[in-house]
Amino acid sequence: MLFLLSPALPSWAQQAKVWNVAEYQAQGDGSTDDTEAIQSVIRKAQPGDTVYIPEGKYRISTLGLRSGVHLKADGLLLQNLPDKEEFTTKKQNSSFPLIRGKDVSDIHLQLNGLSQNEAIYLTGSKNIHIDDSKFSGDSTKLRSFAGILLYQCEEVKITNSTIKNFGTSRESAEYYQPGTGIRILESKGVTIEKCLISKNGQNGVFVHSSPDISVHHCTIIDNGMSAIQVAFGSTRTEIGYYFSHNYMANNAGDAIDINNRGTGSPLDIEALIEHNESLANGFVGKESTPDGSGIATLINVSGVQLIKNTAAKNNRPAVYLEDCGNIIIDGNEADNQVEIVKNLQQVSMINNVFDHITFIHNVKAGYLCIENNEFRTIYFPNGITLNKADFLNNSFSNGSFNLNLSGKVNFQGNQITNLGKTPTFLIASAAKVTLVNNEISSEKAPGILLKSKAKGVLLQGNVVNALNYCIQDEGATGTRLIHNRLEVLPSSNRYFTIHSKNPKQMYMEENIHLGKDGVTAVWMEGSGLVEIYEEKILAGNVSTNEVKIITLNQAKPNDEN
């Protein structure tokens, strides 16, 4: 029986012919096999028509889609299969999904389904819209197929839908089992919007060899691996990712994992990850898994922007970067760190709040711009390479920096509080180190320690308040101190604004020294050479021993000092 639009049908079905399966022997009683009754209606319908499944429980095996024929179900599609298939590496799709579409197009689906295998499996299909649907899988199946599986599809939208319980919950922190909410393989132009994806055995959303993928305004929670994972094939076609305004919590893996483990240079994927919120990822119960980044894990990719995301109580670093190209990290807030591993071409990190940055010992970075952030500290292991690194106008709540590396490092305009017992700066080796216009407060330790192998260090315009020593020099070469204010804290046992042992070609210009009256403030020990111009000793004495002091009549030009 053909009839016109029912008021209960959505706007996309207006003025189309609607076929009610109840008029074609579909029982919806929960016990009758309604597969053929519903399928026969789908075969009769013409492109543009809608097959309507009213209230009830419809036991089916698999329904096949036809191009242009829409499905709307107010009733529940209940899959009834005699045997249980399981996901394997050789067979990653089932023989009997709840809904099957092969080489179909122009279909709108609005369904409710309880599936033993995939709820929807599409191959070679395009212009499909899955909207306002609810799909639940078999939560007892250890190796489950995906809730929605797309293979070689184009222009698919999944909106306002729930996909849950595809696979048993992860029980071990050491291993996981299959069962993904939405699995996208070799497809393009897929949008997932305003969906709830939860309690699946593996990932919430898994993307492989698929460009132009958007996931936004979704809640992705309680899954057995990452909320969103992007994996790569051999074609290097992966580009165009937009992950925005998602809430990702209590997933056993990362919030977002973009992992290109293949060989070759970092792939420019043009990804924007913004305004997401993550909480407590990387745990099974209270046990930590190997994963759990709060904002994103990025491996061997470039062209990624992380903008205004928040993360709290996650197991692993908020941002993990390994072998990456050009990465922008702007306006994010997290309670743990950024971790940088292996090679890095360029990173801009601006206006963020992180606990700290950790450089792993094998880092080789091209250019880093770290500006206007709030950190606790930064960990620099010995022997890393930073070709050029600018740390500009940041705030450090407990900063202590070990600079024993290759490359050029510039700290400028930072506010640094050091609550520890090691110097705020230990400068051992670098091609060039400049500390300019920083405010350094070191309550329990010296301010700056220059090791004997340091060369060409510039300290200019800094305000240093420190315990015992503002600057301690063990014989560095070519150190330049210009327009600094050096004040030793009253709680000190010693009051050296600068203590230099065997200084080598040191230059001092218009620095202000505040030690303690009647006690040595400037101590040049051993032998060496220091050139000075207009030094101001406001409190304390000067002791030069055998160091040769040359008093200049005028300051050196910038290109000489």
pLDDT (tens digit, 9 = 90+) per residue, 150-177?
999 999 999 999 999 998 888 888 878 8
**Predicted pLDDT of residue 398:** 96
DSSP 145-197: PPSEEEES-EEEEEES-EEE--SPPP--SS------SEEEES-EEEEEES-EE
**pLDDT tens digits for 494-521?**
999 999 999 999 999 999 999 999 999 9
Give the containing element (helix H, strand E) for 35.
Answer: helix 35-44
Q: Closest Cα to residue 104, out of 126, 72, 87, 133?
A: 126
> First vs last Cα of the chain: how many Å apart?
94
Q: Are 335 and 376 in contact (CB under 8 A)?
A: no
Strands 70-73 and 105-110: parallel
d(CA 430, CA 507): 19
Tokens of 361: 């010992």
Distance of CA 445 to the CA centre of its chain: 34
CB-count exposure of residue 82 (10 Å: 0-12, 13-18, 19+):
exposed
Q: Using DSSP, state whether 370 is helix, strand or coil.
A: strand
d(CA 353, CA 376): 9
Tokens of 57: 């429980």
d(CA 9, CA 434): 69
**Predicted pLDDT of residue 14:** 55
Length of the chain, in residues: 561
d(CA 452, CA 404): 12
Q: Closest Cα to residue 532, out of 549, 512, 557?
A: 549
pTM summary value: 0.92
**Predicted pLDDT of residue 4:** 36
Helices (H) and strands (E) in the chain, counts: 1, 63
Collect all residues with Cβ–Cβ distance below 8 Å to 263 and sequence separation of at least 6: none
Q: Are 521 and 535 in contact (CB under 8 A)?
A: no
Question: What is each CA distance from 390 to 233, 414, 436, 458, in whole angstroms?
Answer: 36, 11, 11, 14
Indicate left, alpha or beta for 393 from its phi (over 0: left) and psi (-120 to 50: alpha).
left
Single-letter amino acid, residue 186: E
**Predicted pLDDT of residue 425:** 96
Largest CA distance in the chain: 110
Distance of CA 479 to the CA centre of its chain: 39
Residues (pLDDT < 50) of the chain are: 1-7, 12, 560-561
**What percent of the chain is predicted at pLDDT more than 90?**
83
d(CA 197, CA 159): 11
Backbone angles phi, psi at 311, to 5 degrees: -150, 140
Sheet architecture: strand order including 401-404 = 401-404, 425-429, 448-450, 468-473, 495-501, 520-525, 541-543
Q: Are 320 and 329 in contact (CB under 8 A)?
A: no
Q: Closest Cα to residue 62, out of 84, 30, 95?
A: 95
Question: What is each CA distance from 531 to 434, 462, 524, in whole angstroms?
Answer: 19, 19, 12
**pLDDT tens digits for 283-335?**
998 899 989 999 999 999 999 999 999 999 999 999 999 999 999 999 999 99
**pLDDT tens digits for 461-475?**
999 999 999 999 999
Tokens of 229: 């994972």
Residue 277 neighbours by CB distance under 10 Å? 18
Collect all residues with Cβ–Cβ distance below 8 Å to 252 and sequence separation of at least 6: 170, 173, 176, 223, 224, 225, 281, 282, 283, 284, 289, 291, 292
CB-count exposure of residue 427 (10 Å: 0-12, 13-18, 19+):
buried
